[in-house]
Amino acid sequence: MKIMVCGKGGSGKTVLSILMAKALLEKFKVYIIDSDESNTLLPIFLGVNPPKPLIEYVGGKREEEDFERMEPDIVKALSTARKGIKLGLLPSEYMATSKDGIGLITIGKVKEYGEGCACPFNVLTRILLGNLSLERDEVVLIDTDAGVEHIGRKIEEVSDGILTVIDPTAESIEIALTLREVAEKLGKRFWAIANKVTDNIRDLLIEAAASMGLNIDGLVRFDRELYISCLRREPLKAGNALLDVEKIVKEKILPAIVRG
């Protein structure tokens, strides 16, 4: 199962990708694909050294059209199995593994002023996801860039579901509605998870979402310990937020994965 973790910038996509990975580990081999071309904190939050970006494995950044044309060669270069790409068999420098066993693959980061747009990264993400050969006990979480750029790149097409993270704002709910529309159009699974929820806004948020036509599948509390570990740029320490994510995974996500 390949789940895209999407939503507004700062809503908690990266944090929830890691917490969901932890919650899924008991039953699955879990990989996170970092497809956000700008933020660099995921490896730190996961407690690993950054892996080499996958874009380097396929010869570095090139024009988007060249990349599209090269798809068969890229698939061939990345494929170790007879049928498609197996993440677990990628050369070790392109995969970092956390102490608890979560695999991290990074697509690439924009580093230099004027180096061009991030489109090639999106193309590579689509090629990778579209040609993955996954076992039944493997789950891939794609930590996406902020907003809805990935919709324009049609990355959703090659995933199985969209999980949208909502911080308690109307903007966030708007993005969730756009993503739900895409999920419905493509026949993909869809979850809306509210994050950074505090007692004093909990009901207001649920009501606001409902009035905009959005049902919230789960709530993750604002977790002070987690917030502090992020601010200090340390491996994530989560208390209540992890408990909430574990509950959501157990009740909403696991059944979908099991059904396939």
Ligand X SMILES: Nc1ncnc2c1ncn2[C@@H]1O[C@H](COP(=O)(O)OP(=O)(O)O)[C@@H](O)[C@H]1O
Residue ranges binding ligand X (CB under 6 A): 7, 9-15, 146, 195-196, 220, 222-223, 226-227, 230-231, 241
Instruction: Pick between residue 12 and residue 103 the one whose CB is nearest to ligand X.
Output: 12
What is d(CA 13, CA 11) in angstroms, rounded to the nearest whole number?
A: 6
CB 98 within 8 A of CB 45: no
Each residue 16-55 as x (binds Mg ion by CB under 5 A) or -, in order, gives -----------------------x----------------
Least CB distance from residue 35 to ligand X, whole Å?
11
Least CB distance from residue 226 to ligand X, whole Å?
5
Instruction: Pick between residue 11 and residue 131 the one whose CB is nearest to Mg ion.
Output: 11
Phi then psi dihedrals of residue 24, to 5 deg? -90, -15
Instruction: Pick between residue 86 and residue 237 the one whose CB is nearest to ligand X.
Output: 237
- State the binding partner of 220 from Mg ion, ligand X, none, CB within 5 to 8 A by kind: ligand X
Which run of H or E residues covers position 255? helix 254-259
Instruction: Pick between residue 146 and residue 186 the one whose CB is nearest to ligand X.
Output: 146
Least CB distance from residue 12 to Mg ion, whole Å?
8
Instruction: Pick between residue 90 and residue 221 the one whose CB is nearest to ligand X.
Output: 221
* Half-sphere exposure (Cβ direction) of 239: Cα atoms closer than 13 Å: 7
Least CB distance from residue 41 to ligand X, whole Å?
6
Note the Cα 236 to chain centre separation in Å: 16
Which run of H or E residues covers position 216? none
Least CB distance from residue 34 to Mg ion, whole Å?
8
What is d(CA 125, CA 139) in angstroms, rounded to the nearest whole number?
A: 16
CB-CB neighbours of 198 under 10 Å: 10
Residue number, nearest CB to Mg ion: 14
Q: Nearest Cα to 165, choosing from 9, 12, 1? A: 12
Phi then psi dihedrals of residue 85, to 5 deg? -95, 130
- Residue 14 sits in the site that holds Mg ion (CB under 5 A): yes
In the complex, the residues that contact Mg ion under the rule CB under 5 A are 13-14, 39
